[in-house]
Amino acid sequence: MAAAEGSDMSSNGDVDSELETLVPSEALSTETPQVPEYSDILEPAADISEAMAHVPEPPVSIPEPMAETLELEAEAPKLAARVPEEKGGRRAPAPPYAVALEEGDEDEDGELPVDFERLWRVAHDNPQEFSSWTDLLQYCEQEGHMTASRRALGAFLTRYPLCYGYWKKYADLERRAGNTNRAQEVCVRGLKAIPLSLDLWIHYITLLQDTLNMNLPESTQRIRSAFESAVEAAGMDFHSDRLWEMYTEWEKEQGDLRAVTAIYDRVLRMPTQLYGGHFERFKAYLLAHHPRDVLSPEEYGRLCLESRKSQGEGATPEEADEERPPGEEAPSDSAVGHQDTEQIQKMQELLLAGRQKVYQQTEMEVGKRWAFEEAIKRPYFHVKPLDRAQLKAWQTYLDWEIGEAGQEVQGGATEGAAVGGTYAGHKRVLMLFERCLIACALYEEFWTKYVHYLEQHSVEEARDVYRRACEIHLSHKHSMHLQWATFEERHVNIPEARRVLENLEQAMPGLAMVRLRRAGLERRTGRLDQAEALLREAVLQSKDTPSLHAFYSIKLARLLLKLCKNPAKAKSALLEAIELSPDNSKLHLNLLELEVAADTRGNGTGVQQCVSRALAAPLSPRTKLRFSQRGLQFAEDFGATVQSVLMVYDEHQKLLKEMGNKKRSAENGDNDDPEKVSKLEDSSSMPTPSMATPPMAPPVPMTTPPPPMMGGDMSSSYGYGGWYQQQYSNYSYQNPWNYNQYYPPS
């Protein structure tokens, strides 16, 4: 069995959004165009006579055959992809069988094959491993077990709906088993998933032709409706020639020559790969039939009038009889026949001349796209990565097609062109995006590009693209889900944004980014209590991971302090986190910032307690020095009495002496570790000025290094950034700043 089968004429999973982009409307407006649902377009798979009793009315003007398309009786279950495991996440155990069974499946083949359960578990435990699925499918095919094959194919196609070849295998499996209706249902489900799959459309239509009773009049209409649905969904594909040719040949067999002409008129306007062959067949078709038989009465009348005008005959045959002088005989039959032959030839020439202009315009459009199409080497879906050249080819093609559509819109605005003309450019862009998202279904940048384009035209269509991407093809990409939630919030669809984030967190538990997005969403909508509850829940659930627990605790404390205006709760949250992670310097630092930001008219007890707690914690010497420095600075700036300042200063001096002793001990007893010695020197030595300084006056003798210049990084002082904390020594002051100038050493 192939490693990964796809279609160069396939598309993506969400049916409703798919057809909204593919079924044409009368004109492009600023509102979201209404389009028929897929259940109104695809053919029923069972009980034809009963289904024909109900013909749904299409919501928009569409071709007559499509308006008669029937509603699917047995609706296939919606595609839904489980989100697999990712780093930091846990996956809930898969149910024994994730795919609902058809009625009667349980007893059809008895017990399942011996190795089915094992291979099934392997596939579900490694859902992103494509080979595990193909091993399961190959085993079921070898065993020939109907129930096992249905379960395996159903689960596989739910996860990989773009593999059109497996939809065909599934339909053939049901047909060989004598289940014609089920085979048709499988094709319908596949076409809902990939409406651009020309191979699957042809397979479905061929199945109808082979299995329907053509003696019934409704069978012909059903096949015609299937053809019409196919060309509406995939007829603009560059490689759709085989489908168009199949449609015209079938209508010829039915003897409806006017319908054949209508099909040719449509395909001649399509820039397809084999556009020239269609025109040659059309010319042969016209020459083989009288214009009266292949044209509508209105067009035939206009053509007759043009033919007579071109020959200088302004009167119709009836008018000529009335104007003939009395006694003059009418022309003989042979003369009339000769005139008719000449007139038919003239009409055919005029008819071909009009189509020739259409053909030349189509030829020009094909020429514009030929180089882009030639650059695409893998237009079908495959799990193997695309090379950069292919990704670049798709990007370039999309950018060009979008630019072409923009020029058509501008040209229509300046020249007063019909809206339908500009909408054709928009449809071509949509078609190319859908083709691209077959080959590039696993690349989120193309989904994002598609959404950005669609958002300018229809928010609902953009939402459908997000749904297809996140629920089917990129279910394991949390970044795409986050983009979707942001999109919904931007368009004030808060419930949907909340649902997206909740589902993502259930599928990928443990991702901090998702929990923060949920809390942020509630905060921005004014639900501070919900935001607090989400963060508190995260704090409780992360106690087994100290670093994550500290992270959530800091976020909770900031919310309580800044928005809830409750510093007591914020302090309590940080203290609880410090008890669990006393060696986390960020917790101590945030608690210090909270105390510093409090009312400075107090005695600063909270700040000094915070500093003392940090100095007693198992932190690095450099970090302790930083906290001591911060406490000394606070006492200097806000201390109520000089005694309190001196007390803090004495404690700081003791810490400096301890660090000095440790430094000397390291220098004397651990010279073999130069890296460690270097780190200690960096943490305790005073930075030297980078520029030469003039001779300075003898400074006041210092017993210890100057406190403000200690500890290296001062960027956290009072919450200011590094741009503010400049090294004062670079300004060539006569004396470096030190507290000994004001407080004598004890």
Q: What's the pLDDT tens digit per position in 231-285? A: 999 999 999 999 999 999 999 998 889 999 999 999 999 999 999 999 999 999 9
Confidence at 325, pLDDT banded by 50, 70, 90: low
- Model confidence over 453-476: pLDDT tens digits? 999 999 999 999 999 999 999 998
**For residues 171 and 186, what is the distance between their CA atoms, to the nearest angstrom?**
6
Written as one letter, the residue type at 287 is L
Please give the pLDDT value at position 293. Answer: 86
Cβ 184 vs Cβ 208: under 8 Å: yes
- Model confidence over 62-94: pLDDT tens digits? 333 333 333 333 333 332 333 333 333 433 333
Please give the pLDDT value at position 38. Answer: 33
Confidence at 331, pLDDT banded by 50, 70, 90: low
Please give the pLDDT value at position 431. Answer: 93
3-state secondary structure of 695: coil
Distances (CA, A) of 622 to 138, 286, 607, 705: 63, 92, 19, 14
**Beta-carbon neighbour count of residue 710 at 10 Å?**
23
- Decide if pLDDT at 409 tops 80: no
- Could you tell me where the DSSP H helices lie in 597-641? 605-616, 621-638
**Helix or strand (DSSP H, E) at 18:** helix 15-22
- Model confidence over 485-508: pLDDT tens digits? 999 999 999 999 999 999 999 999
Instruction: Give the mean model confidence (pLDDT) for residues 280-309.
Output: 84
Please give the pLDDT value at position 563. Answer: 92
Please give the pLDDT value at position 46. Answer: 35
Calculated CA dihedral for residues 166, 169, 174, 178, nearest 10 degrees: 170
Please give the pLDDT value at position 312. Answer: 60
- Decide if pLDDT at 185 tops 50: yes
CA 527: distance to chain centroid?
Answer: 29
Instruction: Give the mean model confidence (pLDDT) for residues 704-715.
Output: 41
Distances (CA, A) of 567 to 262, 524, 529, 570, 579: 76, 21, 16, 5, 18
Please give the pLDDT value at position 666. Answer: 56
Please give the pLDDT value at position 725. Answer: 39
Give the residue, 246 or 676, on which the prediction is more confident. Answer: 246
**For residues 340 and 272, what is the distance between their CA atoms, to the nearest angstrom?**
37
Flag the least confident range among 303-312, 419-428, 587-596, 668-677.
668-677
Q: 553, exposed or middle or buried, with CB in 10 Å at 0-12, 13-18, 19+?
A: buried
Delimit the CATH 1.25.40.10 region(s) of the chain: 1-78+116-237
Instruction: Give the mean model confidence (pLDDT) for residues 346-370.
Output: 89
Please give the pLDDT value at position 664. Answer: 63
- Decide if pLDDT at 703 tops 50: no
Give the residue, 404 or 68, on which the prediction is more confident. Answer: 404
The closest alpha carbon to 554, from 540, 573, 572, 569, belongs to: 573
Please give the pLDDT value at position 307. Answer: 74
Give the residue, 110 or 692, on which the prediction is more confident. Answer: 110
Instruction: Give the mean model confidence (pLDDT) for residues 339-362.
Output: 83
Tokens 């000095």 belong to residue: 660
**For residues 492 and 495, what is the distance between their CA atoms, to the nearest angstrom?**
9
3-state secondary structure of 331: coil
Which CATH topology does 1-78+116-237 take? 1.25.40
Please give the pLDDT value at position 423. Answer: 62
Please give the pLDDT value at position 348. Answer: 82
- Model confidence over 418-434: pLDDT tens digits? 334 446 889 999 999 99
- Model confidence over 206-223: pLDDT tens digits? 999 999 988 888 899 999
Q: What is the DSSP letter of 724?
A: T
Confidence at 156, pLDDT banded by 50, 70, 90: very high
Written as one letter, the residue type at 332 is S
Highest-confidence segment of 7-16, 287-296, 376-385, 610-619: 376-385
Tokens 């193309």 belong to residue: 446
The closest alpha carbon to 273, from 231, 315, 240, 311, belongs to: 240
Cβ 34 vs Cβ 59: under 8 Å: yes
Please give the pLDDT value at position 406. Answer: 81
3-state secondary structure of 527: coil
Please give the pLDDT value at position 114. Answer: 86
- Model confidence over 516-560: pLDDT tens digits? 999 999 999 999 999 999 999 999 999 999 999 999 999 999 999
Instruction: Give the mean model confidence (pLDDT) for residues 195-208.
Output: 94
The torsion region of residue 727 among left (phi > 0), alpha (psi -120 to 50) and beta comes to beta
Instruction: Give the mean model confidence (pLDDT) for residues 87-112.
Output: 44
The closest alpha carbon to 236, from 362, 66, 361, 355, belongs to: 362
Calculated CA dihedral for residues 231, 236, 240, 246, nearest 10 degrees: 30
Q: Phi and psi for 550 in degrees, rounded to 5? A: -65, -40
Please give the pLDDT value at position 631. Answer: 84
Instruction: Give the mean model confidence (pLDDT) for residues 19-48.
Output: 35
Mean predicted lDDT score pLDDT of the chain: 74
Instruction: Give the mean model confidence (pLDDT) for residues 478-489.
Output: 95
Please give the pLDDT value at position 408. Answer: 72
- Model confidence over 601-622: pLDDT tens digits? 666 788 888 888 888 888 888 8
